[in-house]
Amino acid sequence: MNGIIDIRGVEFSYPDGRKVLHGVDLEIGAGERVAILGPNGAGKTTLALHLNGILQPRAGTITVSGVPVVEDHYREVRRMVGLVFQDPNDQLFMPTVREDVAFGPANLGLEGEALDLRVDAALEVVSGGEFADRAPHHLSGGEKRRAALATVLSMEPEVLVFDEPTSGLDPAGRRELILTLADLSMTQLVITHDLPLALELCSRSVIMNGGRVVADVPTGDLLEDPDLLADNRLELPYGFDRSGEPPSF
């Protein structure tokens, strides 16, 4: 595997002493789309926050494109790894969406026409031109999710990490976001409880439970293993048919 993310023996405890990650090993290949699945409290988001240095492991190592995720390299790593939080309000804080999308690349020194082109390109990917000059708090949930994605894409990352991308979206917003993610060519890690989303987007699924990787399987195989799903508190929607045929009643 041509690994872009290499995680070795990562352990992490919060300041209250609660240990959340217990020696996680994981390699992600360049261009892969991988679903990170598991019950609440499994350590999925905690692991994601290690990938660009928001959290630092108590033990173990992480590299992205061969660059160690340590303080001396945070600036470089945070350009390479774009993290879209579960709550888009955590990423939208400027008076307009356009200013939010420009914030990251402007801090890297981009300005003038080059900055405008970068912002326009990111907004185009998410079909965000219609709300580019609106205040983020006036957007719908789906629009906020797309705007938050644009703020990350404007940094031209090599890796996109998306935490619960379809949470709270209506069916149309969910479909729009899935189509957008499917068109992106960069490496993607998708943290989700949405198993149909995992099947549609990700050929590979990694299950975490109790702060460990407990399974790493083709997504199609996972959905055909009811015991593995049940052991990790994962469920398919009622009537779901992985062949894509509508359920019969």
Kindly report, residue by residue over 23-42, the tens digit of the pLDDT: 999 999 999 999 999 999 99
What does the pLDDT read at residue 238?
Answer: 75
Kindly report, residue by residue over 172-211, the tens digit of the pLDDT: 889 989 999 999 999 999 999 999 999 999 999 999 999 9
Kindly report, residue by residue over 102-146, the tens digit of the pLDDT: 999 999 899 999 999 999 999 999 999 999 999 999 999 889 999
What does the pLDDT read at residue 45?
Answer: 95
pTM of the model: 0.90
Decide the pairing of beta strands 59-64 and 3-13.
Answer: antiparallel
What does the pLDDT read at residue 168?
Answer: 85
How far is it, in rounded angstroms, from Cα 229 to Cα 244? 19
Closest CA to 212 of 52, 15, 2, 46: 46
Structure tokens at 243: 């062949």
How far is it, in rounded angstroms, from Cα 59 to Cα 53? 14
How far is it, in rounded angstroms, from Cα 4 to Cα 10? 17
What does the pLDDT read at residue 65?
Answer: 95
Q: Is pLDDT of 212 > 90?
A: yes
Which CATH architecture group holds 3-231?
Answer: 3-Layer(aba) Sandwich (3.40)
What does the pLDDT read at residue 2?
Answer: 67
For residues 232 and 241, is the Cβ–Cβ distance under 8 A?
Answer: no
Q: Which residues contact 157 (CB under 8 A, 6 or more apart)?
A: 79, 80, 81, 82, 186
Taking each continuous run of H as one helix and of E as one strand, the counts in the chain are: 9, 10
Kindly report, residue by residue over 222-248, the tens digit of the pLDDT: 999 999 999 999 998 876 766 544 444
For residues 19 and 211, is the Cβ–Cβ distance under 8 A?
Answer: yes
Task: Delimit the domains of the chain by residue range.
Answer: 3-231
* Alpha-carbon 139 to chain mean position: 21
What does the pLDDT read at residue 240?
Answer: 73
What does the pLDDT read at residue 3?
Answer: 82
What are the beta bridge partners of residue 3?
A: 29
How far is it, in rounded angstroms, from Cα 18 to Cα 32? 32
For residues 59 and 9, is the Cβ–Cβ distance under 8 A?
Answer: yes
What are the beta bridge partners of residue 24?
A: 10
Q: Which helix (H) or strand (E) holds 112?
A: helix 112-125
Closest CA to 195 of 205, 185, 186: 205
Phi-psi category of residue 158: left, alpha or beta, with phi > 0 → left and psi -120 to 50 → alpha: alpha
